[in-house]
Copies of this chain bind each other. A is one copy, B any other.
Amino acid sequence: MEKKILLNEKDMPTQWYNIVADMPNKPLPPLHPGTKQPIGGEDLAPLFPMDLIQQEVSAERYIDIPEEVQEAYRIWRPTPLIRATELEKALKTDCKIYYKYEGTSPSGSHKPNTAIPQAYYNKKAGVKRIITETGAGQWGTALSFACSHFGIDCEVYMVRISFNQKPYRKILMNTFGAKVYASPSTNTQAGRSALEANPDTPGSLGLAISEAIEIAAGDEDTKYSLGSVLNHVLLHQTIIGQEAKKQLEYTGDYPDVIIAPLGGGSNFAGLSFPFIKDKIEGKSVRCVAVEPASCPKLTKGKFMYDFGDTQGYTPLLPMFTLGHTFTPAAIHAGGLRYHGASVLCSQLLKDGLIEANAIQQLECFEAGVLFAKAEGIVPAPEANHGIAQVIREVNRAREEGVQKNILFNLCGHGFVDMAAYQDYFDGKLVNHSFTDEELTVALKDIEVLQPQ
């Protein structure tokens, strides 16, 4: 048996899978924050091209991947499915562990799976420039490459503290031709106000979103782009799980457990949704979303209507949330520090179709170092959450005396995140839990937002 199960390009899926078609309870509609009435696609038109808006509200089970997008995907896709033989040896387990490796992409993570189609549909709509925000930089890198590929200008508002702490990410974006601004910037009213209030502010993802939206909304040739949370973003990521399914067919194994970290939800959705389809049809498979204990929206948040951004510019979304003003503890997995979970993942959790688990960062880094030594890939800090859960599942299987097939998404490598590992080795990282009381504060704030 080969360690790496490879797929030929001609066998790459040609459609994305839209789980909305199969969900027993359809997602509740987004609401206008003023009227509390469902919003329509036209409300999103200033920010997104119509093709993406149609995907956002679509109930079609499969949506064709345009030929130009398939061609761009082939720059790095299909990605390998790898049997974690060396990790299995290190854990002395008879469980079979497989991982889908998304780190071979231009940005080193799963993000280009949606950056490419988003850039494509914008290009098709005549858009000249795309603005986005980025926290740790993974999303900004992916969109920079995608815009370069389709010949669109790209500008990225990068949270100032990351801009200063993660210079390699900024340089990567520059290499792909994007302009990168530290946020808050003097380019926008939102940025100037923030700088006036506090010239030394480290910035925040919420503020960077405000800056990006402000520019996109004010310029006809410019649109906005988001790297997670939205339905169309999760849709694009389903290429991951569909490939993994085909690859697993070659092995004859079907997973008992599927694991992926969850920040906004696109990584988890990408791997799991095509398998949740099977589960809805009666197949036995557990899907576990892993979140950091320092941002426990799935395990300790509430299912409520809330804003997608910190400033309250977006429609109200029905989701598991800690409240849009909640500030997660400062951990190194920046991609998982988001207050809410996507509408689709939230509904699935509410309906018991997926599980959730929260893990502390020290356990995650310990798992990541073990994985790196065994499999030769240093994982991104986000990905370590999935690996920690894999090890828990292996231990549980041992206790229960059963053999399991485990599949997880290694969503990215950590070459640009080595400073996090240094902090771990230096003993500078700590675990962090919020008290129940601390977790109610931001939730109380959003009670007034709920429709009657």
Where the two chains meet, the residues of A that have a C-beta atom closer than 8 Å to any C-beta of B are 2-4, 6, 8-10, 74-76, 86, 104-106, 108, 112, 145, 148-149, 167-168, 171-172, 174-177, 369, 372-373, 375-378, 413, 415-416, 418-419, 421-422, 425
A425/B76 in contact, CB under 8 A? no
Whether A175 touches B378, Cβ cut-off 8 Å, given contacts A3-B9, A3-B74, A9-B3, is yes
A8, A174, A375, most chain B CB atoms within 10 A: A174
Please report the C-alpha to C-alpha distance between residue A177 and residue B421 in the assembled complex, in whole angstroms: 12
What are 13 A-B interface contacts by the 8 Å CB criterion?
A2-B9, A2-B74, A3-B75, A4-B9, A6-B6, A86-B149, A112-B376, A148-B373, A168-B418, A174-B422, A175-B369, A176-B372, A413-B415
B residues within 8 A CB of A177? Answer: 373
Whether A419 touches B168, Cβ cut-off 8 Å, given contacts A76-B376, A148-B373, A376-B105, is yes
Query: Quick one: copies of this chain in the complex?
Result: 2
**A415: contacting residue among B2, B108, B425, CB under 8 A:** B108
A377/B106 in contact, CB under 8 A? yes
**In whole Å, how far is A219's beta carbon from the nearest beta carbon of chain B?**
24
**In whole Å, how far is A215's beta carbon from the nearest beta carbon of chain B?**
23
Which residue of chain B has its CB nearest to the CB of A169?
B418
Which residue of chain B has its CB nearest to the CB of A1?
B9
B415/A416 in contact, CB under 8 A? yes
A175/B75 in contact, CB under 8 A? no
Not counting A3-B74, A149-B373, a sample of 8 additional A-B residue pairs whose C-beta atoms are within 8 angstroms of each other reads A2-B9, A3-B9, A6-B6, A104-B104, A106-B376, A145-B373, A171-B425, A172-B378
Please report the C-alpha to C-alpha distance between residue A213 and residue B143 in the assembled complex, in whole angstroms: 48
B residues within 8 A CB of A168? Answer: 168, 415, 418-419
Please report the C-alpha to C-alpha distance between residue A4 and residue B79 in the assembled complex, in whole angstroms: 11
A376/B425 in contact, CB under 8 A? no
A172, A369, A375, A415, most chain B CB atoms within 10 A: A415
**A373: contacting residue among B74, B105, B176, B413, CB under 8 A:** B176
B residues within 8 A CB of A175? Answer: 369, 372-373, 378, 418, 421
**In whole Å, how far is A311's beta carbon from the nearest beta carbon of chain B?**
31
A172/B86 in contact, CB under 8 A? no
**In whole Å, how far is A246's beta carbon from the nearest beta carbon of chain B?**
15
B residues within 8 A CB of A372? Answer: 175-176
Please report the C-alpha to C-alpha distance between residue A167 and residue B375 in the assembled complex, in whole angstroms: 22
Please report the C-alpha to C-alpha distance between residue A177 and residue B148 in the assembled complex, in whole angstroms: 38
Please report the C-alpha to C-alpha distance between residue A415 and residue B86 in the assembled complex, in whole angstroms: 25
Which residue of chain B has its CB nearest to the CB of A8?
B2
**A145: contacting residue among B3, B145, B376, B418, CB under 8 A:** B376
B residues within 8 A CB of A376? Answer: 75-76, 105-106, 112, 145, 149
**In whole Å, how far is A263's beta carbon from the nearest beta carbon of chain B?**
21
B415/A167 in contact, CB under 8 A? no
B residues within 8 A CB of A6? Answer: 6, 8
B residues within 8 A CB of A74? Answer: 2-4
Q: What 9 A-B pairs have minimum CB-CB distances, sorted nearest first? A: A106-B376, A415-B415, A168-B418, A171-B418, A2-B9, A171-B422, A75-B376, A148-B373, A3-B74
**In whole Å, how far is A166's beta carbon from the nearest beta carbon of chain B?**
10
Please report the C-alpha to C-alpha distance between residue A377 and residue B145 in the assembled complex, in whole angstroms: 10
**A10: contacting residue among B2, B104, B112, B377, CB under 8 A:** B2
A86, A106, A108, A171, most chain B CB atoms within 10 A: A171
B residues within 8 A CB of A425? Answer: 171, 174
**A419: contacting residue among B108, B171, B377, B413, CB under 8 A:** B171
B residues within 8 A CB of A415? Answer: 108, 168, 172, 413, 415-416
Please report the C-alpha to C-alpha distance between residue A10 and residue B4 in the assembled complex, in whole angstroms: 11
